Amino acid sequence: MTNDSAQALCTNAKWIGRAHCGKCHIRQLMLFSDLPENAFDHLLQPIDQFTYPPGSVIYQADTHKPFIYSIRRGMVKLAHLAQDGSNRIVRLLGPGAAVGLELLDGAENYHHTAIAITEVDLCKIPVPTIRQLEDNHPALCMHVGRQLQEQLNLADQWIVALSTGTARQRVAQLLLVLDEFFADENDAFILLSREDMAAMTGIAVETVSRMIADFKRQKLLYRHRENYYMCNVAALEQITRLD
């Protein structure tokens, strides 16, 4: 619950290069999937790629920059920081997700603070460019809708799974989310900091630590390699049902 938002700023983001959306190798994941290659020939403003180190603030709630971001690699958290220092994470996003979409629906400012959890690669897309592409390619509008629907599903799951039940149930659900959405090819995922897990589930850091330590002792959670963990899905699902 401590205020760590100032620990890192996005000033250290590194420019990777101009994005070539027509030839993007993960385009089917991204916002621009199945737009024609030539859609990107005459953009009002260019789309650039950046790398952000862990902890970088991509944007802050209630501020305004005319960009949305598409995640190419890494994990991003969307958080709500209250004035009293409390810090609730409302979403965890990975490759293919877009953040800052509220700007497309007339929002003046970002609704959350977006922070890189791991090192991330982002495409930084100017809002006017999106509008231009939407005008020329109505299909993009559908993709934005799909992104929103996807995030709405995540938000609903967040309420049902991560904000309901006992502390042990919530932490178990969180591990299942990490396993389902953020595991690598070995089925291993990065174990988040206790503080982030606390902010995601709305419970105290110490309680999260106890639950995680407990799961490790019970071998429901075990290290695959440095900072990567695997979990016993069936056992954790059991816990989410009967405390």
Partner DNA sequence: CGAGGGGTTGACGCCGATCAAAGCTGGTGG
Partner DNA sequence: CCACCAGCTTTGATCGGCGTCAACCCCTCG
Q: How many residues does the chain have?
A: 243
Look at residue 63 and give the partner it binds from a second copy, DNA, none, a contact being a CB closer than 5 to 8 Å depending on partner kind.
Answer: none
Among 49, 50, 97, 112, binds a second copy (CB under 8 A): 112
Helix, strand or coil, per DSSP, at residue 55 = coil
Provide the mask over 204-223, with x wherever binding to DNA is found by CB under 7 A and - wherever it is not: xxxx-xx-xx--x-------
Among 44, 142, 204, 213, binds a second copy (CB under 8 A): 142
Taking alpha carbons only, the member of 152, 54, 53 closest to residue 102 is 152
User: Does 239 help bind a second copy (rule: CB under 8 A)?
Assistant: no
User: Does 5 help bind DNA (rule: CB under 7 A)?
Assistant: no
Give how far the C-alpha of residue 235 lies from the chain's centroid of Cα atoms, to the nearest Å. Answer: 26
Provide the mask over 12-51, with x wherever binding to a second copy is found by CB under 8 A and - wherever it is not: ----------------------------------------
Q: What angle do CA 12, 17, 18 make, to 5 degrees?
A: 130
Whole-number Å distance between alpha carbons of 168 and 51 = 35
Contacting a second copy within 151-170 (CB under 8 A): 151-153, 155-156, 158-160, 163-164
Region near a second copy per CB under 8 A, out of 121-129, 143-151, 209-217, 230-238: 143-151
User: Residue for token digits 């559908």?
Assistant: 142
The DSSP bridge pattern shows strands 76-81 and 87-93 to be antiparallel
User: Does 195 help bind DNA (rule: CB under 7 A)?
Assistant: yes
Provide, rounded to whole angstroms, the least separation between the CB of residue 56 and DNA. 14
Q: Which is nearer to DNA, 210 or 224 (CB)?
A: 210
Whole-number Å distance between alpha carbons of 28 and 96 = 9
User: Residue for token digits 């990107």?
Assistant: 40
Contacting a second copy within 69-88 (CB under 8 A): 80, 84, 86, 88
Provide the mask over 141-180, with x wherever binding to DNA is found by CB under 7 A and - wherever it is not: -------------------------xxx------------
Report the run of H or E that residue 208 belongs to, with start and end.
Answer: helix 205-217
Q: Count of CB atoms within 10 A of residue 20's CB?
A: 13
Structure tokens at 241: 């049902």
Among 92, 151, 194, 236, binds DNA (CB under 7 A): 194
Q: Torsion angle, CA of 82/85/86/90, rounded to 10 degrees? A: 50
Region near a second copy per CB under 8 A, out of 15-23, 99-107, 188-196, 229-237: 99-107
User: Does 240 help bind DNA (rule: CB under 7 A)?
Assistant: no
